[in-house]
Amino acid sequence: MLNLQIPHATTVSALRARIRSWRDDRLSIGFVPTMGALHDGHISLVRLAKAHCDRVVASVFVNPRQFAEGEDLDAYPRTMLEDSEKLTLARCDLIFLPDVAEMYPEGYSANISMQGAAVGLESVARPHFFDGVATVVAKLFNQVRPDMAFFGEKDYQQLLVIRQMVRDLNFGIDIIGGETMRERDGLAMSSRNVYLSADDRVRAARLNVILKEFAAALNAGMPADQAQKAAMASAAAAFDAVDYVEARCAATLEELPSGPIDRDARVLAAVRLGSTRLIDNMAAKRPS
């Protein structure tokens, strides 16, 4: 059993008891769901939550339902002691640490199936992913019952899927997006960056450059299909494999017409370096 200094709960009943006491004191509650292996991007969300809410809960749960067979469930980094130290310094009020049996007890059968923003991009390579994310986040929302929940824009499609789920199922929770935190060379922070070799870590920074060039071309009025073709060629030359490099409507992730963008857009990419998959995105503004 980990000896954590920060208050923590491992069961739903213990979690709800603590939250009930806060509710009795009329305190607002912010929630930051994570899978652990925390970096500055996660911690920025905790700090954002502290700025908006009286109390902040962070969960650490590696959700098996969003991993397909052959993905990195068993290898996914687990660093609970380091995570608890970071959350303590960020003044998180409570960590929720359920195990798989607490989240998915024997006989569990419910699942949320998402469409809309969940269609395409990530779901092409990982068709299981957003149903698994939506299911676990819905459970966590029902367990924590926060006023606000905080998600990073680095996982932009996931952010829109969660907003859609909250709207469609009437959760009554405000979903707040936090800006993508980056390393000095522009690489988006991710728990999976630890998988990169030294050489691949240098190559990984190229993704940020490609997305900046893609967004700048759209901002300057280049037709979306031409800008995308150029970005795809750059990505294919830089990485071992490319799952997608696309421009989509920023609000809905719908595909864009082939000409100059007529609305705010988002450029999104998923590439591979060896066995490591990197995702990133960037805003593109409609030309004035």
Residue numbering of the annotated binding site for beta-alanine? 66
Residue numbering of the annotated binding site for ATP? 35-42, 152-155, 189-192
Is 128 known to be catalytic? no
- The pLDDT value recorded for residue 121 is 98
Q: What is the DSSP string of 20-54?
A: HHHHHTT--EEEEEE-S---HHHHHHHHHHHHH-S
**What's the pLDDT band for 69 if we cut at 50, 70, 90?**
confident
- The pLDDT value recorded for residue 287 is 84
Residue 288 has pLDDT above 90, yes or no: no
Mean pLDDT of 23-52: 98
Residue numbering of the annotated binding site? 35-42, 66, 152-155, 158, 189-192
Residue 47 has pLDDT above 60, yes or no: yes
- Domains of the chain (ranges, CATH numbers): 8-178 (3.40.50.620), 191-283 (3.30.1300.10)
Which one is catalytic: 8, 42, 52, 128? Answer: 42
Element at 96 (helix H, strand E): strand 94-96
> What is the average pLDDT value for the chain, to the nearest integer?
96
CB 84 within 8 A of CB 10: no
Mean pLDDT of 197-208: 97
- The pLDDT value recorded for residue 90 is 97
Picking from 252, 246, 208, the residue whose alpha carbon sits closest to that of residue 225 is: 246
Mean pLDDT of 181-193: 97
- pLDDT (tens digit per residue) in 220-249: 999 999 999 999 999 999 999 999 999 999
Percent of the chain with pLDDT over 90: 93
DSSP label at 287? Answer: P
Half-sphere exposure of 154 (CA within 13 A, CB side): 22
Distance CA 175, CA 169 (A): 13
- The pLDDT value recorded for residue 2 is 64
Residue numbering of the annotated binding site for (R)-pantoate? 66, 158
